């Protein structure tokens, strides 16, 4: 198994990180850092956009290959603009592909122990990259570039590069280039290492090169926004188009104090992720704003995580202390579900304090005509959603990372004239952004495309007017002449501004966003950078490689397509063979063994039974574990698992679902149940139960001793030391479900999905716990996300189908089962045996409620069973086995798939998820282990 690393600490924005990159290995007992043997940093500043490129070489001193992983939040205005890895001694550039395809390709290639790398953006604005392998005793070169919009005051821009290092960097090199605007004559000083900027023809230059470098100081410098004029214009030619970027001082716009508001509704996000926000800065803004309003104010506070809490009312004259103290005492806990928020209609305005990183359900909220001000104070937030909400309601978006409390208060207190529109000849200028009314500060940025062929002769340029004003009309304009004078690479700025505009309606624009992302090397929420080692991998997964590999790629791709045409798909034929095999087994089961006198009863029930001691098990135990030196009988049985669940099969069929999320490594879980004869003519459905799993973690022993009313406060105290442990939330939630405290149990359990955004394994674990406890709607939302994250795996569709079936949405379940059957699934193709059983069970039970016209009649066959056991797990690329020992002592497992009494085991999935299934048409009396 690969060792997972954490690439920690690359400074990609100015406010949150303060050290050079570190590769940490969490080796259970202690942490190790991989040394940086070489660091080259290249900074280019054009106008107010800086691109910082980190070229890093890490050394792995260990005897095993390692996988590196980095996760960190991105701030508003930041983009990953480049990703490259060393492959066979040469640097290979990453290419942009759809996010899901990139992840599928990465995982498939890693299974072959080949070198891939991947970068993507998760929910909100979190950057993640994985690199494999970092060779044992060797090095790995990683290049990452970040583009960002610089902040500053009215006259200056500020750049900060924290490069403080605790350890010596063997080789360090820094190059900074600030491109001059036409006519600029200012001086730039850094005060770093006594190195000053040199002035060249087109730029200001700073260079520094050191060996065994270590510093406790960041690099900082200040750039005047404007030199001789009140605006800057940059252009560039790319693929036959001329892009321009204009930044200008805005005219003085009127500010009008807002009409006094008396009723304010505050939505306060107190989910798990709220701990990352600058809560004191948020509270300071809220306090200052409320106390600045004249007269008595009625405040309705609604806290929310996965659901809204009941409103709390506060009346404020001058002092907001009671409200602030109440908010300070809120406990941050649980997942976030924005689409569960119902915005108030009975208020003057709404303030939403949240990072808007939605972790359950869709990232959407239904707005109304009430103005909404969205306030955020943490990097890694869902800026596009917050901007959309405020824009739709004529409110404002406030980023406290970029603005002071004073600046933010002005936005809350005044209605200011805005940018409204442009005026230009569309035969000379096209696609200018931003393209919707926008509140601006002291300067404004515009980017568009010049149609150079249609410009007037000579040096004359295209005329562009920027219009400012309010809903009452235009009150100010600025006029510019846009000339084609190539000066700086600004096409990405234009593409970024267009993508930001398209993100307001992502679903409608996602294809166009993808094309822009690929053309201009911009990662979005639906795209990733990927680097592959072999040209064959680019061909297999149909990913257009970097330029130097494309000729070979096209040649190999043509051969692959030709071979594909010569080999027709035989899916339908294979499906028919599969269902016929199942029918044949069912219609001609083996005779019941004569050495057991138990006969099949018309009705059987399963009774609880204590686990059989190891020394009393069958004389025919399972073999040693693959890869283990221990025999089965040498291992004591672990604690019983969580309560199993019934899946609603027909009266002659009983499902024993082993749904244990505990990570197992070379251990066995033992389950026992007894089949007995029920002497009654009345047919009845039966249940299977096992003893509830009792985790022995110290915190669980503490909680079990408490009264139900004391559990919540004890949980929050214990959470301090267990905040990042998924098992803690899972185990505590099980206890709360047991105590019938479902709302608290859901809140606690849902923390798990916030620990690692878009992690399918954690999502599955949470969703199955919700299903076990009848919380179908939320489980469906989570399984829907898993399906969207991992559509190449049939388990994603099967899990959702099962959830739909339990919730009574039988047609949706049937459609998903049919989808699995009608598609290919590569390493998971054998799941169809199990899906055929489940689909036929659904049809047998609910035929009158289903439209089965799309189901091939050859696929339909009622096959009720006395015993059916399914085992599944949520961890990919792991091998967990199902073994069943029948009352005769005969075991059914991957090396002995059929028993004398008719038991059958399904395909042995050795690299991820399962499910594995034991089927028995006619059960004999006795204990099954």
Secondary structure in 3-state letters for 308-337:
ECCCEEEEECCCCHHHHHHHHCCCCCCCCC
Residues with pLDDT less than 50, the chain: 1-21, 26-30, 594-667, 677-690
Instruction: Compute the distance between CA of residue 864 and CA of residue 767 in angstroms, rounded to an integer.
Output: 28
Instruction: Give all strands of the β-sheet with 473-482 in edge-to-edge order.
Output: 418-424, 462-470, 473-482
**What is the pairing mode between strands 527-531 and 117-122?**
antiparallel
DSSP 693: P
Helices (H), 822-885: 832-846
Q: Return the structure tokens found at 586.
A: 């069912």
- Sequence-ordered strand ranges (E) for 770-859: none
Instruction: Compute the distance between CA of residue 259 and CA of residue 407 in angstroms, rounded to an integer.
Output: 19
What is the structure's pLDDT at 567?
59
Distances (CA, A) of 152 to 249, 443, 474, 496, 766: 13, 11, 28, 20, 44
End-to-end CA, the chain: 30
Residue 183, classed as helix, strand or coil, is coil
What is the structure's pLDDT at 600?
34
What is the structure's pLDDT at 603?
30
What is the structure's pLDDT at 28?
44
- Give bridge partners of residue 265 from the DSSP assignment: 300, 350
What is the structure's pLDDT at 704?
92
Helices (H) and strands (E) in the chain, counts: 20, 43
Instruction: Compute the distance between CA of residue 905 and CA of residue 917 in angstroms, rounded to an integer.
Output: 6
Q: Residue 438 burial (CB < 10 Å; 0-12/13-18/19+)? A: middle
Q: Return the structure tokens found at 851.
A: 């439209």
What is the structure's pLDDT at 566?
64
Among candidates 865, 864, 911, 902, which has minimal Cα distance to 884? 902
What is the structure's pLDDT at 693?
58
Instruction: Compute the distance between CA of residue 685 and CA of residue 653 in angstroms, rounded to an integer.
Output: 9
226: Cβ–Cβ under 8 A, 6 or more apart, which residues? 155, 181, 232, 249
Q: Return the structure tokens found at 399.
A: 């980023």
Instruction: Compute the distance between CA of residue 669 and CA of residue 655 in angstroms, rounded to an integer.
Output: 18
Among candidates 255, 252, 232, which has minimal Cα distance to 446? 232
* Cβ atoms of 816 and 800 closer than 8 Å: yes
Instruction: Compute the distance between CA of residue 840 and CA of residue 92 in angstroms, rounded to an integer.
Output: 50
206: Cβ–Cβ under 8 A, 6 or more apart, which residues? 174, 175, 176, 190, 195, 196, 197, 198, 221
Instruction: Give all strands of the β-sheet with 604-607 in edge-to-edge order.
Output: 604-607, 673-677, 926-928
């Amino acid at each position: 198994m690969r060792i997972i690393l954490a690439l920690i600490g690359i400074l990609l924005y100015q406010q949150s990180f303060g050290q050079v990159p570190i590769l940490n290995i969490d080796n259970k007992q202690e942490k190790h850092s991989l040394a940086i043997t070489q660091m080259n940093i290249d900074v280019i500043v054009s106008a107010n956009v800086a691109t910082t490129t980190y070229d890093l070489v890490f050394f792995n001193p260990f005897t095993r290959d390692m996988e590196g992983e980095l996760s960190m939040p991105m701030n508003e205005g930041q983009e990953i603009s480049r990703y490259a890895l060393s492959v066979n001694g040469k640097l290979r550039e990453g290419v942009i592909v759809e996010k899901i395809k990139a992840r599928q390709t990465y995982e498939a290639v890693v299974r072959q122990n080949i070198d891939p790398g991947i970068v993507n953006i998760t929910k909100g604005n979190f950057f993640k990259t994985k690199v494999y392998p970092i060779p044992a005793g060797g090095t790995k070169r990683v290049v990452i570039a970040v583009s960002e919009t610089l902040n500053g005051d009215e006259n200056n821009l500020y750049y900060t590069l924290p490069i403080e290092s605790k350890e010596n960097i063997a080789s360090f090199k820094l190059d900074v280039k600030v491109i001059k605007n036409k006519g600029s004559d200012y001086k730039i000083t850094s005060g770093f290492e006594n190195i000053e900027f040199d002035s060249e023809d087109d730029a200001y230059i700073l260079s520094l090169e050191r060996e065994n470098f270590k510093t406790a100081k960041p690099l900082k410098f200040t750039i005047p926004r404007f030199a001789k004029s009140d605006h800057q214009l940059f252009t560039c030619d790319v693929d036959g188009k001329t892009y321009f970027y204009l930044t200008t001082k805005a005219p003085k716009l009127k500010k009008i104090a807002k009409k006094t508001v008396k009723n304010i509704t505050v939505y306060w996000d107190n989910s798990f992720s709220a701990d990352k926000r600058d809560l004191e800065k948020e509270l300071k803004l809220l306090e200052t704003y409320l106390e600045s309003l004249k007269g008595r104010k009625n405040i309705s506070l609604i806290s929310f995580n996965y659901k809204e809490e009941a409103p709390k009312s506060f009346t404020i004259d001058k002092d907001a202390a009671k409200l602030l103290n109440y908010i300070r005492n809120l406990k941050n806990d649980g997942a976030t579900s924005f689409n569960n928020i119902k915005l108030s209609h009975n208020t003057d305005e709404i303030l939403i304090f949240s990072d808007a990183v939605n972790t359950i359900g869709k990232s959407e909220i239904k707005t109304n005509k009430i103005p909404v001000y969205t306030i955020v104070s943490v990097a890694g937030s869902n800026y596009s959603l917050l901007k959309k909400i405020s824009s739709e309601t004529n409110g404002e978006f406030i980023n406290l990372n970029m603005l002071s409390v004073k600046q933010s208060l002005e936005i809350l207190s005044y209605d200011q004239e805005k940018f409204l529109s442009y005026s230009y000849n569309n035969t000379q200028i096209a696609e200018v952004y931003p393209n919707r009314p926008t509140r601006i500060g002291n300067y404004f940025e515009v980017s568009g495309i010049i149609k150079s062929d249609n410009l007037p002769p000579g040096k004359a340029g295209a005329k562009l007017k920027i219009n400012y004003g309010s809903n009452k009309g235009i009150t100010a304009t600025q006029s510019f002449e846009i000339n084609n004078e190539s000066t700086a690479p600004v096409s990405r700025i234009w593409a970024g501004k267009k993508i930001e505009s398209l993100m307001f309606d992502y679903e409608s624009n996602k294809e166009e966003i993808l094309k822009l992302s690929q053309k201009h090397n911009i990662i979005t929420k639906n795209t990733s950078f990927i680097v592959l080692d072999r040209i064959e991998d680019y061909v297999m997964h149909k990913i257009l490689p970097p330029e130097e590999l494309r000729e070979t790629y096209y040649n190999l791709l043509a051969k692959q397509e030709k071979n594909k045409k010569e080999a027709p798909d035989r899916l339908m034929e294979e499906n028919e063979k599969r269902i016929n095999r199942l029918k044949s087994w069912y219609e001609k089961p083996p005779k019941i063994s004569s050495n057991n006198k138990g006969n099949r009863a018309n009705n059987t029930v399963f009774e609880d039974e204590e686990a059989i001691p190891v020394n009393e098990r069958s004389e025919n135990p399972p073999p040693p574990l693959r890869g283990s030196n221990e025999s089965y009988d040498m291992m004591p049985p672990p604690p019983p698992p969580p309560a199993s669940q019934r899946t609603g099969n027909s009266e002659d069929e009983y499902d024993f679902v082993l749904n244990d999320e505990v990570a197992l490594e070379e251990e066995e879980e033992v389950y026992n149940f007894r089949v007995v004869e029920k002497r009654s003519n009345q047919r009845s459905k039966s249940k299977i139960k096992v003893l509830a799993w009792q985790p022995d973690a110290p915190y669980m022993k503490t909680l079990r001793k408490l009264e139900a009313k004391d559990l919540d406060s004890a949980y929050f105290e214990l959470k301090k030391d267990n905040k990042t442990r998924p098992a803690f939330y899972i185990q505590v939630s099980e206890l709360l479900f047991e105590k019938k405290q479902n709302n608290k149990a859901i809140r606690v359990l849902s923390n798990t999905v916030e620990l690692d955004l878009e992690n399918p394994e954690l999502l599955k674990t949470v969703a199955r716990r919700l299903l076990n406890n009848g919380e179908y709607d939320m489980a469906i939302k989570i399984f829907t996300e898993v399906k969207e994250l991992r559509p190449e795996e049939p388990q994603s569709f099967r899990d959702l189908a099962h959830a739909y079936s339990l919730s009574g949405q039988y047609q949706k379940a049937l459609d998903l089962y049919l989808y699995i059957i009608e598609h290919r699934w590569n390493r998971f193709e054998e799941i169809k045996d199990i899906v055929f059983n489940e689909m036929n069970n659904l049809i047998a039970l609910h035929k009158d409620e289903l439209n089965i016209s799309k189901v091939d009649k050859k696929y339909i066959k009622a096959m009720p069973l006395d015993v059916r056991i399914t085992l599944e797990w949520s961890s990919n690329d792991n091998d967990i086995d199902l073994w069943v020992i029948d009352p005769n002592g005969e075991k059914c497992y991957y090396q002995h798939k059929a028993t004398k009494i008719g038991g059958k085991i399904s395909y042995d999935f050795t690299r991820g998820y399962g499910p594995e299934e034991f089927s028995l048409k006619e059960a004999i009396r006795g204990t099954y282990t």
